[in-house]
Amino acid sequence: MTSSGSRQFGDLATQLVQESRRSTLTDTLLKYNDSLVRTVIREQRNLEDLINKAIAAQPDDAAFTGDEPALLLYQTAILRNKRCLLAYHAHRIDRLRDMYWALGAALPALLADNNDLRTRLSPHEVDFLREYNASVMDFRGDFSSELDIASSVTHPPRDLHALVRVIRDCGVIQTELGSIDFRKGQRFMVRRADIEHLIVQGYLEEV
Amino acid sequence: MSPRHISAALLDDDEDFPMVGVAAPDLNFGVDHPPETLLQQLVRHWLNERHAPDILPVQAEVLGALLDHIRRQTDTVQALRGDPDTSEAEHARIMLVQTEVERVKFVVRSYIRTRLYKALQIEKFARYIVATSEVQEKLSQAELDHARRFAQLTENHFQASVLQSLPPHQQGLEDNTPFTPPMISGPDKSRAVFVHARDECPPVRLPDGTTMQMQKGQIVLTPYAVVEQLLAMGSVELI
């Protein structure tokens, strides 16, 4: 505050929220802004110090009314910054969950090396995804015998079978016709339910 | 058990249509509904769930019965496919049955996922659910477990990423400050929904104090809170 002249309380936190907004508008997940988060947290500590000083500066004999203007200002700034910080993190989690489900609840594919997502996450967010995945797996296990709740819910199936082309090798997969070794460039007519997750994850492509 | 459930239970659940020739006693108490198949029921609840801002009671019976049905169909299909005596025409029919099963599974999946995540989200309101006991009754055990785990998970994440670095005073997740929205978000029941009356409805009170009575087949746009009771009774559906 003192170092940067015209900056007001809460300016930095507003930047955080703007980043979330940009991320929504461009439908991307921006890199976790560690330095900005840290700076806002530092501002919070400064504000706390200012509050403590203001309280200490009050004459001992005066009854503490709590409506000291400076105190009110600091307190409002603290609450606002805190909400912005939490909103920034909550928004990122929401986006991560969207991406996770869009890939058919496949965590390895989401965090795979060929996907640069991982570099944009904070370590805590990676932990979050892991634990979230574990919880979803538990939930999914309750239905596993009849259906896989993680498969796509965007388009209802029209045909039982699909003609697919292999884009990336994905090894031997068990299907209704027995096991098939999917090699790049090949085409197969297979039961949709058997390979839908491979389409979602980008191994196969419908022709 | 509501009249609807009783009449649904009278249907032979191995078939997709009501048993022919068996006169079902009128358990609808004068309300004139053609009996719904399990799938029709689920589709209705699925649409309701997708349109309602609040979490609706889980349709465990419908879901369970339908999943049983799917399992039996799949077993039968497997047996017939393995049987060398199955004729060409029957194979064509098996194909149709399999396609239908896949499509039913799609609805079931979407219903579960909608509740879990999409529109109103067990996850979005996880912390509200954990704090509100009457909402918990609407969830299945698996859903409730997941909501609890998720609420804990988000709290841990906030704690690790933000709160633990703040001064002790500022670490709470339940600040109640005037003029700011509460930190635990719940469903917005004032959201407008399109409602289709399945029956003659009892009058309901609108927010401005006037009353509204819907005729069968009528479609209105109204805040969700107005028709919440009617929806629970099954007199209306959301579209």
Tens digit of each residue's pLDDT (9 = 90 or more) over A163-200: 888 888 877 877 777 787 888 888 888 888 778 778 87
Q: Do B106 and A153 touch (CB under 8 A)?
A: yes
Model confidence pLDDT, tens digit, residues A24-65:
888 888 888 888 888 888 888 888 888 888 877 776 666 666
Question: Looking at the domain assignment, is residue A149 inside a domain?
Answer: no
- CA-angle at B159, arms to B143 and B173, nearest 5°: 75
**∠ Cα A56 A57 A58 (to 5°):** 90
Q: Where does residue A37 rank: exposed (0-12), middle (13-18), buried (19+ CB within 10 A)?
A: buried
Record the tokens describing residue A144, joined without a space.
Answer: 């596993």
Instruction: State whether A121 and A168 are in the same domain.
Output: no
Beta partners for residue A175, in sequence order: A178
Statement to judge: residues A176 and A132 lie in one domain: no
pTM of the shown model? 0.74
Q: A1 lies in a domain?
A: no
Bridge pairing between strands A178-182 and B192-197 = unpaired
Determine what percent of chain B is predicted with pLDDT higher than 70: 74
Instruction: Give the chain B residue nearest A81 (alpha carbons).
Output: B170
Calpha distance B146→B125 (Å, rounded)? 12
Closest CA to B112 of B125, B99, B102, B122: B122
Does residue A168 form part of some domain? yes
Q: Does the distance separating the beta carbons of A85 and B162 come in below 8 Å?
A: yes
Residue A81 maps to a domain = yes
Q: How far is B10 from chain A (nearest CA, A)?
A: 24
B16: left (phi over 0), alpha (psi -120 to 50) or beta: alpha
From the candidates B72, B109, B179, which should be mutated to test the interface with A, based on the most A CB atoms within 10 A?
Answer: B109
Q: How many helices (H) and strands (E) does chain B have?
A: 8, 5
**If you write DSSP's letter for every residue of A144-169 in order, what string do you get?**
TTT--TTS--SS----SEEEEEESS-
- Whether A127 maps to a domain, the answer reads yes
Where do we find the tokens 């797996």?
Answer: A137
pLDDT score of A113? 63
**Residues 6 or more apart in contact with residue B214 via CB below 8 angstroms:** B195, B197, B200, B201, B204, B220, B230, B236
Report the distance separating Cα B178 and Cα A99, nearest Å: 35
Q: Is the ipTM of this complex over 0.85?
A: no
* Mean pLDDT calculated for residue range B12-31: 42
How far apart CA B153 and CA A166 sit, in angstroms, is 37
Nearest chain A Cα distance for residue B184, angstroms? 12
Query: Which candidate, A192, A107, A146, places its Cα nearest to that of B107?
Result: A146
A130 with A173, same domain? no
The reply to whether residue A122 touches residue B70, judged by beta carbons under 8 angstroms, is: no
Fold type of domain B3-184: Methane Monooxygenase Hydroxylase; Chain G, domain 1 (1.20.58)
- Judge whether B162 and B152 are in contact, CB under 8 Å: no
DSSP character for A33? -
Query: Structural domain of residue A74, as residue ranges?
Result: 11-141
Instruction: Assess if residue A6 is contained within a domain.
Output: no
Mean pLDDT, rounded, of chain B: 74
Number of domains in chain A: 2
Q: In this structure, are A112 and A29 located in the same domain?
A: yes
Task: Quote the pLDDT of residue B1.
Answer: 36
As a whole number, mean pLDDT of residues A86-96 equals 87
| Ranges for all domains in chain B classified under CATH 3.40.5.60 | 188-239
B46, HSE (Cβ side, Cα atoms, 13 Å)? 19
Chain A stretch 108-167, residues whose beta carbon is closer than 8 A to a beta carbon of chain B: 122, 124-125, 127-128, 131-132, 135-136, 138-139, 142-143, 145-149, 151, 153, 156-157, 159-160
pLDDT of B29: 43
- Rounded to a whole number of angstroms, the distance between the first and last alpha carbons of chain A is 60
Determine the average pLDDT of the residues in A66-75: 75
Same domain, A175 and A109: no
Q: How many CA atoms lie within 13 A of B142 on its CB side?
A: 16
- The mean predicted confidence, pLDDT, of chain A is 80
Helix locations, chain A, DSSP H? 11-26, 34-57, 69-102, 107-110, 123-141, 192-200
Burial class (CB in 10 A: 0-12, 13-18, 19+), B1: exposed
Per-residue pLDDT tens over the stretch B201-214:
888 888 887 888 88
CATH class of B188-239: alpha beta
B174 has a pLDDT exceeding 70: no
A38 and A104 belong to one structural domain: yes
CB B42 within 8 A of CB B59: yes
Chain A residue numbers with beta carbons less than 8 Å from the beta carbon of B167 are 44-45, 48
Same domain, A41 and A125: yes
- A199 and B CB contact within 8 Å: no
CATH 1.20.58.1030 domain range(s) in chain B: 3-184
Q: Which residues of A touch B71 (CB under 8 A)?
A: 145-146
* 3-class SS string, A43-56: HHHHHHHHHHHHHH
pLDDT of residue B16: 46
- Return the closest-CA partner of residue B34 out of B7, B14, B56, B15: B7
